[in-house]
Amino acid sequence: MADLFSGGAVGALMGETVKYALETYKKGREFRPTLQTNIETLDALAPLVEKMKDFNDLLDRPSEEIERLEKHMREGKEIVEKSKKFTWRKFFSFPGQQVKLKKQDDKLKRDLSVIVQAQNKRDLMEVLTKVNGIFEILMRKDKLGQFDGNEIRGSCGAPDEPQCKGMVEPLNKLKIEMMKNGVSVHVLTGLGGSGKSTLAKKLCWDPQIKGKFGGNIFFVTVSKTPNLKNIVRTLFEHCGLREPKFHSNEDAINRLGLLLKQVGRNPILLVLDDVWPGSEGLVEKFKFQLSDYKILVTSRVAFKRFGTPFPLDPLDHDHAVSLFHHFAQLNHNRSYMPDKNLVREIVKGCKGSPLALQVIAGSLCQQPIEKWKNMKEHFQNQSILESKRYFPSDETDTDLLCRLQQSLDILEDINEKECFADLGLFPEDQRIPATVLIDMWATLYNLDEDGTKAMAIVHDLNTRNLINVIATRNVATEIDMYYNNHYVMMHDLLRELAIHQSKGEPFEQTKRLIVDLNGDDRPDWWIGPNQQGMISRMHSFVTGLFVKQKQLKVDASILSISTDETFPSDWCDMQPDEAKVLVLNLRSDHYSLPDFTKKMSKLEVLIVTNYGFHCSELTKFELLGLLSNLKRIRLEKVSVPCLYAMPNLVELSIDYCKDLIKLPDGLCNITTLKKLSITNCHNLSAMPRDIGKLENLEVLRLCSCSDLKEMPKYVAGLNKLCCLDISNCVSLSKLPKDIGELQKLEKFSMKGCSNLSGLPNSVIKFGNLKHEMHVICDEECVALWEQYPNIPNLRIDMHKEDINLNWLHRTHS
């Protein structure tokens, strides 16, 4: 320690201190000039970078270089602004800040130098390429200064040829249309991630297509906010020509038309990729009258104004497995080869989506067996839409949920989004009757009860590829506005998307409560009768728990419960006070209505559908007797022994109840009924004699009741009846004698009543009607009406039915 304070040590220490002080003073003096240099560099760069950005946008150049330079400029500005605040009191902080300023200035100059050199080299290559192309064109220019059709040929505008497994059939269908002569527009439509763009690119590289169109194949991405001038510039660039400046969109289209007429001496294929709703007018602008000109549009929307669209459906299982094998690189050289069952279960979870198959297969490529088994278990317990953790976090375009969500974002009407979410209330792979949706949506969204607006929504969802609409019979809906033969189907992936729309809300606040009851499996919150008894016995010990869990409070306005064949009907004791719609999807031979039904004071619509093989008997219908807001009941493949007084019921539908021989007791006591539909009940042989008590009945439908032999004579007492439908009642031999007394009748459908031998003479009284009456019938029934030629205000519409086998699917399995 003594040596530390010796003269030599002190001298050396003092020397180092003086040296540090001098260096600090020197750097301190350099601080202000360095700061000024940084300010000048930033001021000079700002307008230069803005010009570089403008040229980048015009020439569609990559933006990463400019963005990096802008980032460093922002960092430099932050250091400069902080440095400006330094005063001489902070002299000893000058050196450190001066170093930061110097490094930042060097970084900006280095970035600018690299960018300029790269852009100069790229510009030179582009100029040489375009000059060579122009020289080739000019060398072949004829004496009239016109171009031959073979002369303006750029390289194929399509991007690189993609892998396209499992799309052979749609590719061949497209090829057939493209190989035809003439001018036409075709729309390739499907969900996001369904492979539309991939298929369109593959088409451009097909040998037959390239053989016909040669270099006259142009591929342009339109996107959500298209710029017509930029699209036209791209087409000029494809032709190897200088990018022109256009004064307006009209000028751009006119000059494009002149260009294509020169090119159009040979066939032309123009692909407009990713066209959004509202851009139909843009597509129209690209239609020119040329000898052989094809436009292929890819879109999530089926633009029917351009003709029949090409829907790109999800892949079937075999093609999905093939695509999965490709992306997972499953071949015989692998050390581990997953068994077929494991692959099948994982492929099944991808729901036929090419995007999901690609990403999931890629995530499992070269992975150990544990990863594969974990993926299988994940799909067994969770939807593919909740698999985001399996998608690359830095590639949002591969997020399946995001891509599908875009299909909903294009829906303009909020009701359409809500209606789509309602489709998740029904079991997968089952048809949803359009009449069910009409009843629900009339209640939930105040739509008209005749179904006009509801069906407009259905058709719009169909146009946007979110559902499929199936008509089992080609009925005259424009005449009678009846949609009992229309059904909605949706793919499993879209059903999961519909359900997902309601999952983000807390349980207590959800608008739709969807419950699946399989065997003894129950949701965590489900408190059945056994648990209730146990809680009751524990009441004296755990009073708080009893009070909390005695009844589950549910605020959902829509309640959907689905059961399987083994469900024992031990319903939860919940309190669904706010529910307006109750949907019960059953699969057993016998059920009782849940006891909590009697508490549903706001219930307006009850829909009970049996998806089992046999007709189901439903008991405890008396629970509905005191529900004053209940207006509509629909029963499908469900029979009820009796009906009770329902003070405000206005509509009752019983469909596909093959065991129904007579209508339920008490039906004719519900005098508030306005609509009664008994359809596809083939064993129904007679109507109740006291049907005339339904004094407010306006619509009576008895469609496809094949054993119905006669109608009660008292049907003539239905003074408010305006619509009578007895279509396809093939055993009906005669009509009520006094049917002509129905002086409010406006629509009378009697298609397929082949056993009718004649009409009662009272039909003459229809001549007293003050309004026109439509009779909808087939050729045989027309002959019956021709015997009464002098009935005024009578309009007969002969209907030729389109026979198909779609009705077979109504036998649920």
Give residue 133's pLDDT band: very low, low, confident or very high (50, 70, 90). Answer: very low
Q: Lowest-pLDDT range, 156-170, 220-234, 318-332, 484-498?
A: 156-170
pLDDT above 80: residue 362: no
Query: Which one is the CATH code of 414-496: 1.20.1280.260, 1.10.10.10, 3.40.50.720, 3.20.20.150?
Result: 1.10.10.10
pLDDT above 70: residue 483: yes
What pLDDT is stored for residue 166 in this prediction? 65
What pLDDT is stored for residue 120 in this prediction? 60
Question: Which residues lie below 8 Å from residue 521, measured CB to CB, with a gap of 6+?
Answer: none
Element (H, E) at 584: strand 581-586
What pLDDT is stored for residue 718 in this prediction? 92
What pLDDT is stored for residue 722 in this prediction? 93
What pLDDT is stored for residue 675 in this prediction? 94
What pLDDT is stored for residue 543 in this prediction? 41
What pLDDT is stored for residue 585 in this prediction? 92
Give residue 600's pLDDT band: very low, low, confident or very high (50, 70, 90). Answer: very high
Orientation of helix 317-328 relative to helix 354-364, angle to 10°: 40
- Stretch 95-107: mean pLDDT: 72
Torsion of CA 790, 793, 795, 796, to 10 degrees: -30
- Stretch 751-763: mean pLDDT: 90
Nearest to 562 by CA among 519, 525, 532, 505: 519
Q: For tokens 């003070």, what's the residue? A: 647
Q: How far is CA 520 from CA 290, 485, 528, 592, 599, in A?
A: 67, 36, 11, 17, 25
Q: What is the pLDDT of residues 40-72, one digit of tens each?
A: 777 777 777 776 766 665 555 666 777 777 777
- Stretch 408-430: mean pLDDT: 85
pLDDT above 90: residue 745: yes
Q: Lowest-pLDDT range, 64-73, 119-128, 559-568?
A: 119-128
**pLDDT over 70 percentage in the chain:** 76
What pLDDT is stored for residue 150 in this prediction? 35
Q: Lowest-pLDDT range, 178-187, 255-264, 396-405, 736-745?
A: 396-405
What residue ranges of the chain are covered by domains with CATH 1.10.10.10? Answer: 414-496
What pLDDT is stored for residue 372 in this prediction? 84
Give CA–CA dist 802/782, Å, rounded: 18
Give residue 147's pLDDT band: very low, low, confident or very high (50, 70, 90). Answer: very low
Give CA–CA dist 379/392, Å, rounded: 18
Residue at 490: amino acid letter: M
What pLDDT is stored for residue 609 in this prediction? 93
- Residue of higher predicted confidence among 578 and 123: 578
Nearest to 192 by CA among 495, 403, 497, 353: 403
Give residue 165's pLDDT band: very low, low, confident or very high (50, 70, 90). Answer: low
Q: How far is CA 281 from CA 27, 277, 287, in A?
A: 66, 10, 10
Question: Which residues lie below 8 Å from residue 565, measured CB to CB, with a gap of 6+?
Answer: 587, 588, 612
Q: Lowest-pLDDT range, 94-108, 536-550, 611-625?
A: 536-550
Give CA–CA dist 706/732, Å, rounded: 8
By the 8 A CB rule, do 159 and 219 touch? yes
What residue ranges of the chain are covered by domains with CATH 1.10.8? Answer: 317-401
Give CA–CA dist 695/764, Å, rounded: 24
Q: For tokens 């330094």, what's the residue? A: 86
What pLDDT is stored for residue 4 in this prediction? 42
CATH architecture of 168-311: 3-Layer(aba) Sandwich (3.40)
Question: Which residues lie below 8 Å from residue 663, measured CB to CB, with a gap of 6+?
Answer: 654, 678, 684, 687, 688
Give residue 145's pLDDT band: very low, low, confident or very high (50, 70, 90). Answer: very low
* The domain defined by 317-401 carries CATH number 3.30.70: no
pTM of the model: 0.65
By the 8 A CB rule, do 226 and 220 touch? no
Q: Lowest-pLDDT range, 16-20, 306-310, 358-362, 612-616?
A: 16-20
What pLDDT is stored for residue 90 in this prediction? 58
- Stretch 344-372: mean pLDDT: 80
Q: How far is CA 732 from CA 355, 464, 663, 703, 704, in A?
A: 55, 43, 17, 11, 11
**Mean pLDDT computed over every residue of the chain:** 77
Give residue 300's pLDDT band: very low, low, confident or very high (50, 70, 90). Answer: confident
Give CA–CA dist 734/726, Å, rounded: 11
What residue ranges of the chain are covered by domains with CATH 3.40.50.300? Answer: 168-311
- Residue of higher predicted confidence among 573 and 556: 556
Nearest to 636 by CA among 653, 619, 613: 653
pLDDT above 80: residue 805: no
Q: How far is CA 39 from CA 49, 98, 101, 104, 271, in A?
A: 15, 13, 10, 11, 49
What pLDDT is stored for residue 655 in this prediction? 92
pLDDT above 80: residue 3: no
Which pair of structure tokens corresponds to residue 283?
Answer: 């597509």
What pLDDT is stored for residue 155 in this prediction? 39
- Residue of higher predicted confidence among 60 and 427: 427
352 exposure class (CB count in 10 Å sphere: 0-12, 13-18, 19+) = buried
What pLDDT is stored for residue 481 in this prediction? 57
Nearest to 281 by CA among 251, 303, 256, 258: 303
What pLDDT is stored for residue 677 in this prediction? 93
